[in-house]
Structure 1
Amino acid sequence: MSPPFNVLTATAAELQQSLTIGTLTSVQIVETYLAQIEKHNHAGAHLNAVISVAPRELALKQAAKLDQERQEGKTRSPFHGLPIIVKDCFQIGPEMGMKTTAGAYCFSLEQAKENAEVITQLLDKGIIILGTANLSEFCGHKAEEMTPGWSAMGGRTRSAYDLDSDPNVLPKPWWFAPCGGSSSGSGVGVSAGFVPMSLGTETGGSLVYPASRAGLYAMRPTLGSVSSKGVFRISKTYDGVGAMARTPYDLSLLVELILKHGSKHASESGFGKYLTKSWEGLKIGIVEVTWGMGSQEGKDKWTSDLVKRNYDGVAQKIRDNGGHVLFPASPPEPSTIKYQDLVMRDIAYQEFNEVIQIFCDGFENPKVRTAKDIVKFNEEHADKAMPEPHANQKELIASSESSLTEEQCATARSEIQRLAGKDGMEKYMTDNDLDLVVSSSDCSLISFTSCAGYPSATVPLGNLENGQPYGLFILARENREDLMFRFMSAFEATFPKIKGPNLV
């Protein structure tokens, strides 16, 4: 029997419409997505996008309860009765039947005391947590040259657009994995039809990069606007929660639902009013195609005829449709974001020692609490915690041995934020009368969003000859997600939809 809807193309809004008119039930939707996960997560295409799947009985029980509420005239949100997957770094309470591991063996037997705050927000809105998504272990903060999307608990995440390659052969260079990282499973899970939407996290591109490689729309809102309580973080300063979806509309609703109550950019009418499909009044700076790009592999990709022609054509197409574009824009280079010899990474290394203790204390009886504890545990259980070819933990060791004082970090944080924001991108945008800055999805624009605390976003631009998607990164000022959603809406209305994965 064929499924009641196409899991590879269905949007959350379309599914909600079917629920509203009664042609689908939440139970049917959950059954259909569970079947797709069973078909291609550890079997079929072997995507390894999900580490923990919600127990079938619990998921269907929740779906049936939400169906009953709908029949009684109650709907909690626009996503009432729909499923989501969340990166395996959001703590999940014992009643959910899933673990939270951050991909690490040291957390494999731990049980969180309660749900992360943002998970509770989703549940309160009638959203079903269908699973935890695979990731780069510890959000990438473990090993030098660790394959993006690999974790001890989940194995290697495989892109739904990369089914012809040998999954046992590591990408070269190591960081050029088709799935991207660190929110790898969050992106692959949506593109592969496991769910219509997902949550991930980002320190320096870890949400928007894998989303761009999965052909999705994504946003990490202004830092601090989404609760991080109960979420694994590398840094208290730079980490933030974000969302992925197939359309700007779905994304706008999901971002709205995860914001803290009282966030400066939240409004009673939501982000929907900004989805105008019009470029009128938007002032956009688009950097040159290889701006902020350090690797030769990235430059080769973006200067290839097809990709460069697509990228260079974005500016004129926006102009033709009423938008104002400065192209090529020339903002400060990412290399300017440093204080003395300190960069964002140095601060994150030091801050990890504090945030990892907070995260571990969210477990009932944590066996590890510090970076040093984890390093020691991994050494003692190296066969499972550090199997070849990922047999090092240099990032964790560097954090555990950080010699930076809090006073040094505080000064560097402030200066780096100033250089990235007020005296960096903010000054450039003000001087050039710009609302947004746009780049390729393989460059360091996200260094500015992370260091300044600005929101980051991505939109899908096209497919390479091998089918792999590529996109654009977007930067806006603090709390100006409204402008990003205006851009996304106009972009979706103007540019052709990319091709989906060939996943049977």
Structure 2
Amino acid sequence: MMTTSPDNALAWLGIAEGTAYLRTRELSPVQWTEALLERIQGSGGAIDAFLHLDADGALARARAAEREIARGHDLGPLHGVPCAIKDIFETADMPTTAHSRLLMNHRPGRDAAAVSRMRAAGAVLLGKTATHEFAHGGPSVDLPWPPARNPWNLAHFSGGSSSGSGAALAAGLVPAALGTDTGGSIRIPASLCGVTGLKPTYGRVSRAGVFALSPSLDTAGPMARSARDCALMLQAIAGHDAADPASAAVAVPDYSAALVGHLKGIRVGVIRHFFETELRANPEAVAALDNAIAALRDCGAHITPITLAPMMAYSDVRVLIQEAEAFAIFHAALCERADSFGQDFLGRVLPGCLVPAFAQTQAHRKRRLLTAHMRAAFEQVDAMVTIGPGPAPRFDAPESHGFLYGLWSDKPNLLAPFSVSGFPTLSVCTGFASNGLPTSMQIVTRPWDEATALRIGDAFQGLTDWHRRHPLDPAGSIDPVQLAEPAPAEPLDQSMISWIDACLSHAQLALTDSQRALVYQAAPRVKRMIARLGTLEDRAVEPAAIFRLD
């Protein structure tokens, strides 16, 4: 049951508006922080967006910001602004659990690079937001903390793995949050919660101090309620960092200067085959996307169709790279403490032991070709748009299998193409379905051109008001999260079982019967995924993982 939200203007202040009030002294950092802390501890408790709330530390930081601003020591647009940090980033003064039983009492004693930059910009850190275990998988009910709920309907999934960040923004608990994106973990919660999230170019934001899942794909980025606010956050956290091997020494532009309010001269390609032929998207989401494209045209953009490689090719490459790397990273813990992980995490990562070296290398080689193909398509356009996830499924609905059990899948994934390419991608809300849940659009641009993605998102949001809508506050009793049952496993012949057992033995995994069953369930799909990779005739195609010596 939901009730009308109280008129709490501070809950819905964005960074840009809030900063203006802070500088004119109409609002103080302490007032803003106190209001949000009260909200988090009140109605926000039903959302389960925060794993750790540092109320005392936040108020101390807000008082310090207030004194500095009063002295004329202005650190920029984040100075005095309350922010949240996904609990996959290390924090010196707060726990970092990665939403895992393995790290329940972990205090790293240092900040991740992006957190350090947020502090240097004067942000008031409120606490750590919920994620999925090690930023992977779907919502779990077998971990010490419950999954974050979707503020638009608490029975529905908030997306992941930056689930708490997306939910906190949508619920008016915080105006800004850090997220990470390996296979869609900024874009999915932004889409399902109706907020704005940017996966920057791979290498644009340092991942030093962020727990790794798949280093070839892991990306950190901003989440807020508008493209304009994401631009302000990105300005603070972008830039080269020698502590991150993937960090690129590329100049950081003035992102806010790019937000000119129109799209004259911008060529936008629409990738329709992703959601019209390869994957049948929700009709209401498609209608909302068509309206959004019309709005982009009204802003001055030239709209044209564009075709990329099949989405399934990107999906297979992404999963094989991601899960092989994740299995390698967590191998020791899986051998020693598999029971400490949640079942959802195990069901995704354990089958990584089935991916042979040749398939991993082939996936990296194919990634290079797919990325080159996408780069070539940008000779025709300045940006591409396609549909994003949504509306959000119920936790207990069969369609939630796409999130909960669908990683090793024979279905293509809408997020995978831009994870594989590493190109910047902005997710924005395009409207609401008849059930009241958000729909979304992905805006993709060339490497290092986040400015154009933000410009398009800002122009769209200047013409529409979807990003300004917010849900009602929760009220009444709330049922515990109940997850859908997994689909039945495919029957396996003895040769398949023998192959699986040999892989498990080679990996030195001593699993329970239920844990082995997770690998058995994924194995036929792993086999088909590897087969779909095919062969590359050109032996000169190098893996995308080739590195450059300094």
> TM (normalized to structure 2)?
0.74
Render the CA deviation track for 1:423-482: whole Å, top value 9, x for unaligned. Answer: x2222332xx11111111128443221111111111111011222111101111111112
Kindly indicate whether residue 239 of structure 2 is the aligned counterpart of residue 243 of structure 1.
no
Partners of 1:372 and 1:397 within 8 A in 2: no
Match of 1:322 among 287, 293, 300: 300
Residue 377 of structure 2 corresponds to: 428
Distance 2:120 2:172 in 1: 24
Structure 1 position 20 matched with structure 2 position 23: yes
Whole-Å separation in 2 of the counterparts to 1:392 and 1:453: 24
Matched position secondary structure for 2:165: helix
Write the mapping of 1:23-62 to structure 2, written as runs, cut at 5 A.
23-42=26-45, 46-54=46-54, 56-62=55-61
> Counterpart in 2 of 1:367?
none
Matched, 1:273 2:273: no
SS at match of 1:346: helix
> 5+ unaligned residues in a row in structure 2: which ranges?
242-247, 390-411, 475-550
Partner of 2:275, secondary structure, is coil
Cross-structure match for 2:351: 398
Asked if the contact 2:10–2:32 (Cα under 8 Å) also holds between the matched residues in 1, the reply is no
Task: Say what the alpha-carbon RMSD is for the aligned residues.
Answer: 2.6
In the alignment, the residues of structure 2 paired with residue 501 and residue 493 of structure 1 have an alpha-carbon distance, to the nearest angstrom, of 20
For 2:378, the aligned partner's letter is M
Task: Please give the residue correspondences for 1:408-423 in structure 2 after superposition, counting only pairs within 5 Å.
Answer: 409-410=360-361, 412-419=363-370, 421-422=371-372
Q: What corresponds to 2:487 in structure 1?
A: none
SS in 2 for 1:181: coil
Matched, 1:348 2:295: no
* 2:454 aligned residue: 485
Q: Are the equivalent residues in 1 in contact too, given 2:183–2:318 (CA < 8 A)? A: no
Deviations 1:290-348 (A, max 9, x none): 6278666xx3x2x14xx443322333333344210014x3322212338xxx6221222
SS at match of 1:337: helix
The offset of 1:33, in angstroms, is 0.9
The answer on whether the counterparts of 2:201 and 2:447 sit within 8 Å (CA) in structure 1 is yes
Gaps of 5+ in 1: 142-146, 166-176, 357-369
Distance 2:60 2:209 in 1: 25
Distance 2:84 2:30 in 1: 16
Partner of 2:107: 111
What displacement does 1:395 show?
A: 2.4
Distance 1:90 1:402, change over 3 A: farther
Given the superposition, is the C-alpha separation of residues 149 and 132 from structure 1 closer, same or farther in structure 2, using an over 3 Å criterion? farther
Shift, 1:376, TM fit: 3.4
Amino acid at match of 1:24: L
Q: 1:321 to 1:224 in 2, by over 3 A?
A: closer
Q: Is the 8 A contact 2:288 2:439 kept in 1?
A: no
Q: Tell me the alpha carbon deviations over residues 355-380 of structure 1, each in whole angstroms, 9 at most, x when there is no partner.
A: x4xxxxxxxxxxxxx4332453242x
CA distance in 1, matches of 2:374, 2:361: 21
Offset, 1:351: 1.9
2:432 to 455, 463, 466: 463
Question: What residue number does 1:438 align with?
Answer: 385
- Structure 1 residue 500: Cα displacement: 1.3
Deviation at 1:392, TM superposition (A): 7.2
1:137-216 to structure 2, matched below 5 A, reads 137-141=133-137, 147-148=138-139, 152-163=143-154, 165=155, 177-216=156-195
Cα shift readout 1:107-154 (whole Å, capped 9, x = no counterpart): 10222141111111111111122111111222224xxxxx43767232
Query: Are residues 115 and 264 of structure 1, via their aligned partners in 2, closer, same or farther at CA, if it must alter by over 3 Å?
Result: closer
Structure 1 length as normaliser, TM-score?
0.81
Within the alignment, does 1:334 sit opposite 2:311 as a pair?
yes
